[in-house]
């Protein structure tokens, strides 16, 4: 990433090859065939996925900007709505089914592309219309009896929603399996290929640059949404990113203790006041692959003593975790390391007192950091695969918020996002609680009521020898202060 001093971008969007999705399909085939062999089943049948459908609001002039369903995007990279996709498990042939568009499409929405366009562009073996699926799959089936269909059905352990299996009019003409595909494809998504990493890296480079632009633009008196708009402009203008990974969280002052601030009822509309901390959690998505980055900084450009105390504890937690990450390390242990580091920081400055091990046992950390340390990241912000079959979600306070309890493996991309918040809804009951009250310095902590919170979030790739931080935002307080007065970032051009 070249150094930038503000305005414009030092980045060039990377070229996306559909080879990425060919690679994803090959990986799925390898894993699926193995899974079938392991259960003494024959390697026959089709994977069939249904892509997303475009939706209108009731007014037909307002189409909600379409974003492809994530598993479909993973296998086929198709950006248009209304498609189906199949893979012949025995031969490996890939087949797209495109919607047959009405003639008036050409009047209102542009030229109707021929099937040959999709075959070439998406690098698949065959393309037909969606109204031909049943016939084509029967024609391609080389075994007697009904063709087998492996459909996507399974629980998303984050949203608790079940993925919707492909729907066909004549499903009775197939043998349907709803069990096998979901865990296998989900596990494929957990480990990223070099091409996937390149996209996540670009989304990170662009979003890191946009965060710096936001820091430089922040001024007392502005509205939070004006800074959101600067971020959105930057990633769209210089990366063509029409989608972000999630709704921007642009919280200042006490809003920064509202974990998912920025929703319709709290739409990033507060005025920035002198003395506020800002907590900005924003990430662009580039060709389906996302980033998820949080920067915390003082809106007036200069950390106060109190802000520095809390910020330092969170930064230490962020840095210690990243320094400890490598294959074989368990994520629950990393969460506990972050909690312990934050508690030690709070104890050092006198906000809490007592034995840190006791605090850990009584889960005091969850009062200050109620969310999990981080989550898998990819085509979804909270990428699936955090709890494969057999891995239990922890039950204790704080730990049960973890979106994964896995042991780290080479190729995982995971967010590291420790935070420390002063949330009345958690703090006040804890200060009254018979088990926890003794740990709080009630007078000191009252100085932090209304402070809000601090989160530092980076996206980290686990490598064979350790890990690599894909995010490049100023983190050290003096770097943040320097950048906010216009110093270049990255500070050294070689960085």
246 binds ligand GLY (CB under 6 A): yes
Q: Which of these, 388, 23, 409, lies nearest to 193 by C-alpha position?
A: 23
158 binds Mn ion (CB under 5 A): no
281 binds Mn ion (CB under 5 A): yes
Contact between 400 and 393 under an 8 Å Cβ cutoff? The reply is yes
Residue in 9, 94, 201, 415 binding Mn ion, rule: CB under 5 A = 415
Residues between 367 and 406 that touch ligand GLY (CB under 6 A): 375, 381
What x-and-dash track marks residues 440-469 binding Mn ion by CB under 5 A? Answer: -----------------x------------
Closer to ligand GLY at the Cβ: 430 or 460? 460
Contact between 215 and 482 under an 8 Å Cβ cutoff? The reply is no
Q: Binding partner of residue 341 among ligand GLY, Mn ion, none, CB under 5 to 8 Å per kind? A: none
CA angle 22, 26, 30 (to 5 degrees): 170
Q: Report the nearest approach of Mn ion to the CB of residue 294 (Å).
A: 5
Q: How many residues bind ligand GLY (CB under 6 A)?
A: 7
Q: Binding partner of residue 224 among Mn ion, ligand GLY, none, CB under 5 to 8 Å per kind? A: none
C-alpha distances in angstroms, 351 versus 68, 310, 316, 443, 445? 47, 10, 17, 8, 6
292 binds Mn ion (CB under 5 A): yes
Tokens 């500070």 locate to: 491
Residues between 409 and 448 that touch ligand GLY (CB under 6 A): 417
Q: Report the nearest approach of ligand GLY to the CB of residue 34 (Å).
A: 32
The span from the first CA to the last CA of the chain, in angstroms, equals 7
380 binds Mn ion (CB under 5 A): no
228 binds Mn ion (CB under 5 A): no
285 binds ligand GLY (CB under 6 A): no
What x-and-dash track marks residues 138-177 binding ligand GLY by CB under 6 A? Answer: ----------------------------------------
Q: Report the nearest approach of ligand GLY to the CB of residue 415 (Å).
A: 6
281 binds ligand GLY (CB under 6 A): yes
Binding residues (CB under 6 A) for ligand GLY: these are: 246, 281, 292, 375, 381, 417, 457
Binding residues (CB under 5 A) for Mn ion: these are: 281, 292, 415, 457
């Amino acid at each position: 990433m070249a150094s930038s001093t503000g305005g414009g971008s030092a980045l060039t969007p990377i070229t996306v090859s559909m080879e990425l999705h060919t690679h994803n399909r090959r990986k799925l085939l390898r894993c699926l065939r193995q899974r079938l062999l392991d259960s003494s089943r024959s390697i026959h049948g089709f994977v069939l996925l249904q892509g997303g459908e475009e939706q209108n609001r009731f007014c037909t002039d307002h189409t909600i900007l379409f974003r492809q369903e994530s598993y479909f995007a993973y296998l086929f990279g198709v950006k248009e709505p209304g498609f189906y996709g199949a893979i012949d498990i025995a031969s490996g042939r890939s087949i797209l089914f495109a919607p047959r568009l009405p003639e008036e499409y050409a009047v209102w929405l542009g030229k109707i592309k021929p099937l040959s366009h999709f075959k070439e562009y998406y690098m698949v073996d065959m393309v037909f219309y969606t109204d031909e699926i049943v016939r084509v799959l029967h024609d391609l089936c080389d075994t007697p009896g009904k063709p087998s269909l492996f459909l996507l059905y399974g629980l998303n352990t984050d949203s608790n929603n079940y993925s919707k299996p492909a729907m066909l009019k004549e499903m009775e003409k197939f043998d349907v399996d709803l069990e096998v595909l979901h865990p296998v494809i989900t596990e494929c998504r957990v480990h990223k290929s070099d091409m996937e990493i390149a996209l996540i890296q670009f989304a990170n480079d662009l979003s890191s640059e946009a965060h710096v632009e936001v820091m430089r633009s922040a001024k007392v008196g502005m509205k939070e949404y004006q800074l959101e708009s600067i971020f959105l402009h930057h990633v769209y203008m210089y990366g063509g990113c029409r989608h972000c990974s999630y709704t921007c969280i642009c919280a200042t002052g006490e809003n920064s203790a509202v974990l998912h601030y920025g929703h319709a009822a709290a739409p990033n509309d507060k005025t920035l006041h002198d003395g506020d901390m800002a907590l900005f959690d924003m990430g662009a998505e580039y060709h389906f692959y996302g980033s998820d980055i949080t920067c915390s900084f003082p809106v007036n450009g200069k950390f106060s003593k109190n802000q520095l105390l809390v910020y330092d504890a969170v930064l230490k937690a962020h840095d210690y975790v990243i320094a400890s990450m490598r294959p074989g390390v368990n994520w629950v242990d990393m969460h506990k390391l972050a909690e312990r580091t934050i508690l030690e920081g709070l104890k050092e400055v006198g906000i809490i007192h007592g034995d840190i091990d006791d605090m850990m046992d009584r889960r005091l950390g969850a009062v200050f950091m109620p969310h999990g340390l981080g989550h898998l990241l990819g085509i979804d912000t909270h990428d699936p695969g955090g709890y494969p079959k057999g891995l239990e979600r922890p039950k204790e306070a704080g730990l049960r918020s973890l979106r994964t309890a896995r042991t780290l493996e080479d190729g995982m991309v995971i967010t590291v996002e420790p935070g420390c918040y002063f949330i009345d809804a958690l703090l006040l009951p804890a200060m009254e609680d018979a088990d926890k009250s003794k740990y709080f310095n009630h007078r000191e902590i009252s100085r932090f009521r209304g402070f809000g919170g601090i989160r530092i979030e980076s996206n980290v790739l686990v490598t064979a020898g350790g890990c690599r931080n894909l995010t490049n935002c100023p983190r050290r307080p003096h770097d943040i202060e320097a950048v906010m007065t216009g110093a270049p970032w990255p500070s050294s051009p070689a960085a």
